[in-house]
Structure 1
Amino acid sequence: MLESVTSKTTTNKISELLGLIGLSFGLDALVTYLAMRTSLYFWIALGLCIALVGVFCAARLESVISAIRSRQAVYGMNVTVAAILVIGIAVVVNVITALFFDKEMDWTAEKTFTLSEQTKKILKNLDEDVKVTAFFSRNPTEAHAQHQLQEAEDLLQRYQRESKKIKLEFIDPYADPLKAQEYKIEFNGTTVFEHEDKRESVTSVDEQKFTSAIMKVTKGEIKKIYFLTGHGERSIEDYDRQGFNRAKEALEKQNYKVEELLLATQPQIPDDSSAIIIANPQAPFSEHEIDALKEYLDKKRGKALIMLDPSPAASDPNQKLIKFLDGWGVEVKNDLVFDAERFAFPFGKSVPYVDVKQFYHTITKDVQVPVPFAWARSVSPKEKSIPDITVTSIARTTEREGFSWGEKSRNEKGEFLDDGYTKSKDTVAPVSLAVAVQRERDTAGSSTEGEPKPIDTRLVVIGDSDFASNNEYFTTAGGLDFFLNSVNWLLMEEDLISIRPKPPEQRNLRPMLDREVRMVLLLSIFAIPRMVFILGLIVWWRRR
C-alpha cells in the first residue's frame, strides 16, 4: 500500500514537471510565432507542448476534471470572458477611430510626419481632381526599396487625407508592365501627377517635389521672372556662396520660369515678364534702363523686387535707381545698419537678426525663423506719403535708441566706421530694412464708388541681398522664406505664402551587424522570456 502511494506521488511529480516543461515550450512557440511567424522551431515547440501537456492531463485526469469543475475554475472562466470582452471593446473602438477619426499625432521635433502649411494650403485650394499614380514594386527585395515604398505610402496617404481631390493609385510596374509602358516609367519608385492634359513625374519620395508637381499640373499660366544683369548683380547661374542659384531653384520649384535679362540690349522689359528682380547692382543704371523701369512699373503695372546692399563708397553708384525709388515713396539711405541688441552670432551687430513675423504683413506673417540681414542699409517709407501709394515697413531693428542705428560715418578710404551712435548724424532706431509698396489706381470702369481700388503695381525694396544668396547660414534661417514670400506677394499669389516643407534632418543609425542581430533575437525571444518563466517556476515550486 505504501509503495503504491509512493509510486503515485512520484508519477504526479513527474507529470507536473512534464506539464510545466510543456507549457514552457508552448510559450516558446507563441513568442516564435509572433516574431517570425511559422518556422521549424515553432512546429517542434508546439508539438512538444501538446505532447507533454497531454501526458500531464492523462496522468492527472481526475485532478484535471475536478479542477475544471471547481469554483476557482468557474471564477477563472469569468475573468477570461471579461478579459475577452474588454479586448473586443478595445478592438471595436480602434476600428471606429481608424474609420471616422483618421488622424496622426506627430511628436517629432521637425514635424517630420506632418505636411507643411504650404502643402496643406495648396491642397485645400484644389478645385479639381488630381490623379496620382505611384509605381512601386509591391514585393521589393532590397531594404532601400522597402523603405521607399513605406515612405511613399505614408506621405501620399497624408496628401489624400488632407484633400479628397487627390485620387491615389499604387501600381506594381513589374506586375503591370503595360501600364508602366503607357506612363513611360523607367525607374521603380516613380510617382506621376496628372491633371487634364498635364503630367509631371517625380522619381523620389519628397514632399517639396510632390507639392511642386501638383502646382505644375494645376496652375494654368507659368509666370516668368527676369533677373536683371549688366551691372554686376548676383547671378542665378553662380553656385558660390555669393551667387543666387539657390534662389533660382527655389522659384522653379514653385513653378516659375526664371531667366536673366540684359536690359541694356532691350528696348523695354518684355511683355511676358510677370516680375523683375534686381539683386545688388554694382554699377549705375543708364537713363534708358531707368526709363524702361518707369514704363514697366507705371504703365504696365509691373512687379519688382529690388535688393540694394550698402554702397562700398561715399558716392553711391545706384543714385539713379535710388532717385527712381524716391518717386514711389521709398527712402534708401547710404548707411550701414547696426543692431547691438539682437544680432546673428558670430557676425556681431553688423548682421541684425530680425523677427519679421511681428510686423503682421502678408509677406512676413508665416516666416517662423528670424531673418539675418547681413551688412544692410536702411530702406524706409518717406515721411511724406504719395497719393494712391502705400509703403509699409516689413523689417526693422530693435527700438532702443543707441542700441540700433544706421551708421553714416566713413574713414578716408570710404569704409564705414564703427564709432557708435551719433544722434545728430546717424539713422535713429528703429531702423527699417525693407518695405512693401503697392499702388491702387482707378482705371476706366475698374471700380465703383465705395469699392476698393484695384492694385496694379507692387514693389518690394530691401536693403540687403545676402539673405537670399547661396550662403546656407542666411538662407536656412528665415532668409529664403522671406525672399520667396516677397515674390509670391508681388505676383499676388498669397496662397503660396506659408510655412514651406523643410528637408529632413539626417539622423542616421549604424546598421546592426549579423552577430548583433542574432544576439538581440536570442535575448528577446528566448533568453529573457525563459528566465522569467524559470524564476516563476522556482517561486511556485518553493511555495508548494
Structure 2
Amino acid sequence: MNRLIHYSLILLNNDYTRIALLLTCILLSASVANRFYFIHDMTGANRHTLLPQSIESLNLLTKPVTIEVFISPLDQQRHAVSALLNKYQRNKTNLSIVYTDPALDPQRMRELNIEPGGEIFLNYGNRTQRISQVSEQAVTVALQRLARNQHPAAYFITGHGERLLEGGNNTDLGVFTSQLRQSGFTLNTLDLTDTETLDTGDLIVIASPLQHYLPGESALLLDYLSRGGDLIWFTEPYSDDGLKALEYELGIKRLPGVVVDLAAQKLQVDRPDFAVANNYSKHQATDSFTAVTLFPQAAGLDLQPNREWRAAALVQAGEQAWTETSALTGQLSFGDDGREKAGPFPLVMALEREKAGKTQKVIIAGDGDFITDAWIMNGGNRDLGNRLFNWTADDTRFIGINRPEPRDAQLNLSRNNTLVLAALSLLILPGLFLTGATRVWYQRRHG
C-alpha cells in the first residue's frame, strides 16, 4: 500500500502527468457544461430573457411548435435570429427550430414567395404564421395569433360619426384596432341602413356615435340583443344617439353631466373633466388587473333594476369623483340638488345572461376616448381595452396577455441626471480639454 502511494506521488510530480490531468478535467468540465447549463441574465433591461407576455403566449400553445427560418448561413442577421429563437426554445421543450438556406431550394422559395431578406415560418398544427421582422415583438404576436382556434370577428357600426378604425386623428382608433388585428381579431365596418338582420355570431361595436340612430337602426340592435348577440358600446357624456331603448333593454342608465375627479388633478392632469380609476371588480375581465386607467370626459353609469341580466361594475370612479352638470368653469364642487351623483359609481359595466343556448355578453363604457390614439398608451388603458374585447369575444385565455413593446425604446432621465449630463458635456469636458490644450501651449511656448 505504501509502495502504491509512493509511485502515485512520483507520477504527480511528473509534468506530463499534470498536463494530462489538467486536460482531462477540462474535457470533463466541457462535457458537463454541454449537458447541464445555467443561464442568468444580469443586464439591466433583461435583454437576454423573454418578456412575461412572450412566456405567457408560449404557454397557450400546448402542442409542438416548429419554427422554420429561411435565411442564408452567410447572412449577417443569422446570429441575431438564432439568439432570439433560442430564448423561446429554452422556455418550451417541444419547440423545434429548422434553418433552411434559400439558395439550396429556389423552387420552394418561389412557391412560398419568400422575401429576398428571408422569412420565418411558425407552424402549429395546421396553422401557420409568417414574419419577416426579427424581433421579440413580432414573434410573440405571431404566437398569439397561432394560439387562437378561431379569429373572432368584430363589426364596428358606421354612419353616425363614430370613431374611425383607420383614421389618422387622435380621436380615432387606429393604434388600438391595429393591435386587435395583430392579436387575431378580424375587424370590419357595418352600415345598418344596408342590413336587414345582424348575425349573432359576430361581435357588434358601437364606438361613440355623434348623431342620432334612426328608429329602424335601433330596432335592428334590439332584435340582435333579443337573439343573444354580443355587444360592446362606448358612449360619451351628453350623447344624443337615440339609443334610450337600448339603455332600457340592458337595464343601464347614463348619468347626466361629465365626470369630474379631484384624484386626477392630484396626478397633475390639467383638465377637470378627466377621471382616473384603480378600483376594479373581481371579474373575469379584470382579473389581476391593477394598473391605473385614465378616462377623458367620461359619463357615469347607473344600474337600473333588471332581473334578467347579471351586472358587474368593472371600473368605478373613486370617492373624489362626481358627475358635473354645470359649466366647467371656476371652482367646481359637488352640488347636492339631486342632479349630480357622487362617486363611487361605474364607468364601465359588464352584463351577462343566458340566451339562445349560450352566455350572452355586453360591455358598456361611459367613455370611448380611453382607447383612442391620444390616450391608448396612458397607464393601463390599452390593457383594459384588450381585456374588454377578449372577454366579450369569449376568448378568456388572452385576458391580461398584452402585445410586448420593444425594450429600451426610450431613455428616461430624472431632472438631476439631466443637469449632471448637461454640465458634464457642456462645461466639465470642454473645460478639461481647454485646460489641457492651454497647458501644452504654455509648455511649448516657455519650455
Task: Give the TM-score normalised by structure 2.
Answer: 0.78
Residue deviations 1:280-304 (CA, integer Å, cap 9, x gap): 11112222122111111221x2111
Partner Cα separation in structure 2 for residue 397 and residue 296 of structure 1: 30
| Secondary structure of 2:274's aligned partner | coil
| 1:200 positional shift | 2.9
Cα–Cα, structure 1 residues 113 and 308, in superposed 2: closer, same or farther, change >3 Å? farther
Matched, 1:308 2:243: no
Instruction: Give the unaligned 5+ runs of structure 1.
Output: 1-72, 141-145, 447-453, 509-544
How far does the alpha carbon of each residue in 1:436-495 deviate from its partner, in whole angstroms, 9 at most, with x for none?
111135x6xx6xxxxxxx52x111111111111111x44353212211110000011011
Query: Which of these residues, 131, 134, 147, is aligned with residue 69 of structure 2?
Result: 134
Q: Kindly indicate whether residue 321 of structure 2 is the aligned counterpart of residue 404 of structure 1.
A: yes
Question: Which whole-Å CA distance do the structure 1 matches of 2:147 and 2:317 have between them?
Answer: 40
Given that 2:57 and 2:401 are in contact with CA atoms closer than 8 Å, whether structure 1 keeps it comes out as: no
| Partner residue, 2:218 | 290
Shift of the alpha carbon at 1:378?
0.7
Separation in 2, partners of 1:216, 1:354: 30
Q: Is the 8 A contact 2:163 2:173 kept in 1?
A: yes
Q: For the Cα contact (< 8 Å) 1:133–1:191, is it kept in 2? A: yes
Partner of 2:395: 493
CA contact (8 A) 1:342 1:398 kept: no
CA gap of 1:367–1:138, structure 2 versus 1, over 3 A, is farther
Aligned equivalents of 1:208 and 1:303: distance in 2? 30
Give the distance between the partners of 1:195 and 1:474, measured in 2 at CA: 31
- Paired with 2:66 and 2:307, the residues of 1 have a C-alpha distance of 48
- Does the 8 Å contact 1:368/1:499 carry over to 2? no
| CA separation of 1:476 and 1:120: change in aligned 2, threshold 3 A | same
Within 5 Å, give how 1:42-441 maps onto structure 2: 94-98=33-37, 105=41, 107-109=43-45, 111-140=46-75, 146=76, 148-217=77-146, 219-270=148-199, 274-299=202-227, 301-311=228-238, 316-318=239-241, 320-343=242-265, 345-355=268-278, 358-367=280-289, 369-382=291-304, 384=305, 386-399=306-319, 403-410=320-327, 419-425=332-338, 426-441=340-355
Look up the equivalent residue of 1:355 and give its one-letter code. Answer: N
Aligned length: 398
Cα distance in 2 between the residues matched to 1:365 and 1:87: 52
Please list every run of 5 or more consecutive structure 2 residues that lacks an aligned counterpart in the other structure: 1-11, 412-447
Offset of residue 499 of structure 1: 3.5
Question: Is the 1:353–1:370 contact (alpha carbons within 8 Å) kept by the matching residues of 2?
Answer: yes
Q: 1:154 to 1:470 in 2, by over 3 A?
A: same
Whole-Å separation in 2 of the counterparts to 1:78 and 1:407? 90
Structure-1 separation of matches of 2:379 and 2:244: 28
Cα gap change, 1:396 to 1:78, in 2 (>3 Å): farther
Asked whether the equivalents of residues 380 and 432 of structure 1 are also in contact (C-alpha less than 8 Å), the reply is yes
1:498/1:97 CA distance change after superposition, 3 Å: farther
For residues 226-251 of structure 1, give each alpha carbon's deviation from its aligned partner in whole angstroms, at most 9, with x where no partner exists: 11111111111211111112222111
Q: Which amino acid aligns with 1:306?
A: W
Q: Provide Cα deviations, 1:334-380, integer angstroms capped at 9, x if missing partner.
A: 22112212455343442222225x53333223546421111111124
Following the alignment from structure 1 to structure 2, what is the Cα–Cα distance between the partners of residues 117 and 381?
Answer: 37
Alpha carbons of 1:361 and 1:83: their partners in 2 closer, same or farther (altered >3 Å)? farther
- Same amino acid, percent of matched pairs: 21
Structure 1 residue 254, shift from structure 2 partner? 1.5
Cα deviation for residue 329 of structure 1 reads 2.6
Matched residues in 2 for 1:208 and 1:380: separation?
Answer: 40
How far apart are the structure 1 equivalents of 2:270 and 2:18?
69
Task: Give the C-alpha shift of residue 193 in structure 1.
Answer: 2.1
Give the whole-Å Cα distance in 1 for the aligned partners of 2:281 and 2:390.
17
Structural RMSD (CA): 3.3
Using the size of structure 1 for normalisation, the TM-score is 0.65
Partner-residue secondary structure (3-state), 1:437? strand
**Over alpha carbons, which structure has the higher Rg?**
1
